[in-house]
Amino acid sequence: MTVCYNGFMDKNSIRIKARIENLRKEIEKHNHLYHVLDRPEIKDSVYDSMMSELLSFEKKYPEFDSEYSISKKVGGKILSHFEKIKHEVKQWSFENVFNFEELKDWEKRNINILEKKNIFEKINYVCELKIDGLKVVLNYKQGLLTQAATRGDGEIGEDITENVKTIKTIPLSLKEKIDCCIIGEAWIAKTEFKKINEERKKNNLSIYANTRNLAAGTLRQLDTGVVAKRNLKMFSYDIYLYNFSTQISELEFLKQNNFLVNSNFKLCKNLEEVQEFYNKWQEKREKEEYSIDGLVIKINQNNIFDELGFTSKSPRAGIAYKFPAEEVSTIVKDITIQIGRTGVATPVAILDKVLIYGSYVKRATLHNGGEIERLDIRVGDTVVMRKAGDVIPEIVEVIKNLRPKNSKKFIMPETCSVCFGKLFREENLANLNRVSAGLFCKNINCEAKHREYFNYFVSKKAFNIEGFGNKSVDEFYDIGLIKNVLDIFKLKKEDIESLEGFGEKSASNLIEAIEKAKNISINKFIYSLGIRHIGETVAKDLATHFLSVENIQKSILALDKNRNIDELKKDFAVPGIGEKSLESLVDWFENVKNKIFLNEILKIIKIKQENEGEKQEKGVEKLENNKNILSGKIFVITGSLSKSRDFFIDSIEALGGKIHSSVSRKTDYLLLGENENEDLNHRISTKEKDAREFQIKIINEKEFYNLLK
């Protein structure tokens, strides 16, 4: 116990504290040498004895313990669950290309965008290995690791902070007291994977199919001690909320701050050099301890990266160049028809179970009748299988030399396999001469469509009713507890607690989850309606534009349906809404049964006006007063601000100003976040340096608002 006299520690306490701090520094040093630099200087037994001494001291003298001590990498905490958390920075995923021609098309699209902006800077690329692991997002405040999360859906992830603290290649503190967000890929070595699976076999436990599944399963362990023992690693490759001029400088910063950075990256002057690097690693990828499924290619200059911006799903300045998928052969045992929630009749090949790229595959979609004709696929055929993008199983070709005698061509049915109603070709209002390859069941009472829609309605992207999985939905439907989705909200505890798989507690939990789901954001509600071609992105666009479902309905019903689809698009005037989406919206909102359904469900649920708040945050009331007080003025924004960056961008543009991603002599104002220069130890950003050099006016938030008066 520490003994204090008038606030001062006695000599023994000072000695103990110094010993603890010295142990931490020495262990941290050797941890970095061993796990990051792969240059151990001491034997494991020496390392273990120092760690044992530190743990003993911290237990005996808890007043000297610290949540950022290297000892925390040993694990030991037992978690009850994983909290959902919102990312400070949206986590995008890169689009995929699979050959050099697609890669050149990607470059061409980017050059066209830049030329329209009068940007003719020579582009160079950074190639990094695409590690097949699990994306991890780390948040540091004042240089200390405060939170770690999974990617989740890009906006919401799971809090895995305690588990991440056990990963030896992730520093708990940085060399500088900065705020930043670090992105990396957690992985587990192939030798560790083999060792863990062998141990699980001995204990009659199921084995992991591949290293990625093991890494993901490990990070979701509730026992941090288990995580610590499995020796996860993480390659760090990106940093946000802290400015750098190039991707290469970001990687150098990460290395300087003791992160493990994959050293196999290369700066390339052109795509030909990229292709050489790709060919080299396609041949040698299996020799590494980590799984590699391609390259990640990023434009090195961050100012160009910013100028190119984003599509609805991905940054334009980066691409994943995937290696060819692993291919195997198997036999088609049958071809069945699956009816989806919108009535789409999809042929599915039932296969002899086959292991491909680390997981077993028994089914593969054949998309439509046109695809079956193209492949000339028949029951009994031996086919070549692969996973497109190493994710979706697909049939590449038929080995016709192995085709059974007397095999017959598969013909798409004329009737629905569930309700036996007639199947129809999809109508196309934009091009009446174009015949769709897809077939649809239009019977509104088709049971298959009902079942699929129930599962869709309760899914995470829609009402997100926890504990209401496909199995429960099917059981409730079969026994008549739910006949339409409105019945879900009428369920009572006594209705379900006696059912197989349910008890009093689980029944209560489900009822609570249903009650909680009654409060839903507008974009999720629009998505939950299951309107064809209305996915997450389009649902968000509609929510942001209209703010309420009633407004969407009024706008749709007000359209002159005698006009062609192009004229209707102009009348509707919602960015991001294409022909098919608009056709589907018109069909859905014109349907009498859907109108009744909408009226009924809006009496039951409460739509949270999150998007309304977002809309009002998007730019000083979106300039309803039509002032142009910033006309012609060019702004650059950097640093953390009190509101979202979109707020300031929309405000400036609404008032006639322009936003540029980098400072030039033409810039009028640099809007500087408060934390960019809050103390002398903080590194001045490139944008601030350039602004000072060009004598550009630097303003803070208060001064920005003064401009608007």
Residues annotated as catalytic are 130
Count Cα atoms within 13 angstroms, Cβ side, for 377: 33
Residue 557 CA to residue 568 CA, distance in Å, equals 12
Query: What Å distances lie between residue 55 and 31, 68, 162, 173, 269, CA to CA?
Result: 15, 13, 17, 19, 50
- In whole angstroms, give the CA distance from residue 463 to residue 454: 11
Phi, psi of 481, deg, nearest 5 = -65, -35
Give 402-433 as a 3 state SS string. HCCCCCCCCCCCCECCCCCCEEEECCCCCCCC
Give dist(CA 701, CA 669) in Å, integer.
12
DSSP per-residue codes, 146-161: EEEEE-TTSSEEEB-H
C-alpha distance from residue 156 to each of 84, 150, 528, 567 (Å): 7, 8, 18, 38
CA distances from 300 to 128, 249, 304 (A): 11, 9, 8
Which is it for strands 125-131 and 266-268: parallel, antiparallel or unpaired?
antiparallel
Query: What is the CB neighbour count within 10 angstroms for residue 273?
Result: 15
Conformational region of residue 231, where left means phi above 0, alpha means psi within -120 to 50, and beta covers everything else: left
Query: CA-to-CA distance for 97 and 99, rounded, in angstroms?
Result: 6
Quick one: which of 617, 660, 665, 616 has its CA closest to 642? 617
Q: Which H or E run includes 203? A: none
Amino acid identity, position 564: N
Q: What is the DSSP letter of 168?
A: T
CA 559 – CA 581 distance, rounded (Å): 15
462, exposed or middle or buried, with CB in 10 Å at 0-12, 13-18, 19+? Answer: buried
3-state secondary structure of 706: helix
Q: Which residues contact 705 (CB under 8 A, 6 or more apart)?
A: none
C-alpha span between 526 and 204 (Å, rounded): 46
Selection from 302, 489, 319, 325 nearest residue 394 by Cα: 325
Spatial distance between the Cα atoms of 352 and 128, rounded to a whole number of angstroms? 37
The SS3 of residue 118 is coil
Cross-strand bridge partners of residue 3? none
Q: Where does 522-591 have alpha helices with state H?
A: 522-528, 536-546, 549-557, 565-572, 579-590
Question: What's the start-to-end Cα distance of the chain, in Å?
Answer: 61
Residues 387/326, Cβ–Cβ less than 8 Å: yes
The pair of three-digit structure tokens given for residue 633, joined into one six-digit string = 């003025």
